[in-house]
């Protein structure tokens, strides 16, 4: 299979972690006879420093031309003083999501068996099983409503718009995902206060009844959901929620798995094309020190193989190699170990080769 992957390493630890994921993808290509072309493009503060724009036209064009996008992270203190609309997070990340139509953000969070002790939750809670998928609406809501500051600077408004078709399409993604998992969707909202949340409830219920009656559906207010996530995370299979709540709950979910350095994400638009990135940020405090955990990015590459290229066996192999490397004790600092970023990537590549020989 011949495919082009736009590679946007970005800022902070981005280049280090993306380099390891690219190594793993090259190992997959060699082992399974694929031809992956890596088109490296600048993004974020690094692109701003180079050409004065966090999302250069050429980078966006390269993403459009590619079969999938692998992204590291953007942002850092150096660019915090830029005007809001030009900062890496908004100009690069949010524009990429919107321009590429990536409305469905999948953030799987599970506790790996050998990392149970890394979870801050009590062992009996973890033993009940933590394996959930946050399905976050990614191109609407508060992030893309109007942001206004009054002329006198003394008040501000952020609008939270949602339309029925936006809710329907993300609900379909959640129900389809649940049907292939444990068959349960929890829709998280704030329907006791927000008009948009009431529209979400009605719409999600309607899509459920008409298209996925076999999937169990329940609704939780977001404050309760945040509490249940630490009290009884095993009750969740698929969490379906809006842009802002999904941002918050996915960070919380990541922490119960032991480290935010383990969580991958896929941002999809329904035709196979997608952007894949770890959910953690650019971690400027450890950038350049070689201690970052590359596993979230490597697991994002596995999602890329599965969702954009339809290479399920290869994706399974990468995920199994991550598990095998962890089982063998490969631990970066966030997991209480001493392994560096490159060594962790090498451990996954070695496990991939070992797994291949066993077949
Ligand atoms: C994420 C990040 C972004 C978001 C920021 C950097 C704009 O936190 O991908 O979760 O809020 O979506
Ligand atoms: Mg976030």
* pLDDT at residue 267, rounded to an integer: 98
Number of structural domains (the chain) is 2
Which ranges in the chain belong to alpha helices (H)?
14-32, 45-51, 57-65, 95-99, 123-127, 164-179, 195-211, 222-231, 243-256, 295-307, 312-327, 341-358
Cβ count within 10 A of residue 261: 24
Element (H, E) at 274: strand 274-278
Same domain for 160 and 288: no
Q: Is residue 114 part of a domain?
A: no
Same domain for 246 and 334: no
In the listed set 237, 256, 275, which residue is the last one of a domain according to the structure? 256
* pLDDT at residue 170, rounded to an integer: 98
pLDDT < 50: residue spans in the chain: none
Q: Tell me how far apart the alpha carbons of residues 120 and 102 are, in angstroms, rounded to a whole number.
A: 32
Same domain for 144 and 80: no
Task: Name which residue sits closest to atom 10 of ligand 1, judged by CA.
Answer: 247
| Numbers of helices and strands, H then E, in the chain | 12, 12
Residue 170's closest CA among 246, 79, 96, 225? 246
Same domain for 279 and 252: no
Q: Is residue 135 part of a domain?
A: yes
Q: Is residue 111 part of a domain?
A: no
Give me ligand 2 centre to Cα 35, in Å. Answer: 33
In the listed set 227, 256, 285, which residue is the last one of a domain according to the structure? 256
Q: Burial code of 47-77, b = ≥16 C-beta within 10 A, e = fewer?
A: bbeeeebbbbeebbebbeebbbbbbbbbbbe
In the listed set 201, 221, 256, which residue is the last one of a domain according to the structure? 256
Ligand 1 and 89: CB distance under 6 A: yes
* pLDDT at residue 359, rounded to an integer: 53
Q: Is residue 322 part of a domain?
A: yes
* pLDDT at residue 259, rounded to an integer: 87
Residue 175 maps to which CATH number?
3.40.718.10
Cβ count within 10 A of residue 265: 24
Ligand 1 and 279: CB distance under 6 A: yes
Q: Looking at 48, 143, 162, 276, which residue is catalytic?
A: 143
Q: Which region holds residue 33: left if phi is over 0, alpha if psi is between -120 and 50, else beta?
A: left
The domain in which residue 151 lies consists of 120-256
């Amino acid at each position: 299979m011949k495919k082009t992957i736009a590679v946007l390493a970005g800022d902070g630890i981005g280049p280090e972690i993306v380099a390891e994921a690219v190594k793993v993808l090259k190992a997959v290509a060699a082992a399974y006879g694929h031809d992956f072309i890596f088109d490296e493009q600048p993004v974020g503060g690094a692109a701003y420093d180079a050409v004065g724009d966090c999302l250069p036209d050429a980078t966006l064009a390269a993403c459009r031309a590619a079969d999938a996008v692998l992204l590291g992270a953007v942002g850092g203190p150096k660019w915090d003083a830029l005007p809001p609309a030009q900062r890496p997070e908004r100009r690069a990340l949010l524009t990429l999501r919107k321009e590429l139509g990536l409305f469905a953000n999948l953030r799987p969070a599970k506790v790996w068996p050998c990392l149970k002790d890394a979870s801050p939750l009590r062992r009996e809670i973890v033993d009940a099983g933590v394996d959930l998928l946050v399905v976050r609406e990614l191109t609407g809501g508060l992030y893309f409503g109007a942001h206004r500051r009054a002329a006198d600077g003394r008040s501000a408004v952020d609008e939270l718009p949602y339309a029925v078709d936006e809710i329907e399409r993300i609900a379909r993604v959640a129900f389809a995902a649940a049907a292939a998992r444990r068959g349960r969707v929890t829709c998280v909202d704030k329907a006791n206060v927000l008009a948009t949340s009431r529209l979400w409830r009605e719409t999600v219920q309607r899509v459920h009844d008409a298209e996925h009656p076999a999937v169990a559906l329940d609704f939780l207010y977001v404050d309760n959901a945040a509490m249940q996530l630490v009290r009884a995370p095993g009750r969740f299979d698929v969490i379906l929620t809006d842009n802002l709540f999904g941002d918050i709950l996915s960070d919380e979910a990541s922490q119960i798995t032991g480290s935010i350095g383990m969580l991958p994400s896929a941002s999809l638009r329904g035709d196979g094309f997608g952007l894949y990135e770890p959910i953690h940020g650019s971690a400027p405090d450890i950038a350049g020190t070689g201690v970052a955990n590359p596993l979230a990015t490597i697991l994002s590459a596995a999602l890329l193989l599965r969702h954009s290229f339809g290479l399920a066996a290869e994706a399974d192999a990468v995920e199994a190699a991550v598990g095998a490397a962890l089982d063998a004790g490969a631990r970066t600092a966030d997991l209480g170990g001493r392994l560096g970023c490159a060594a962790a990537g090498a451990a996954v590549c070695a496990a991939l080769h070992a797994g291949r020989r066993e077949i």
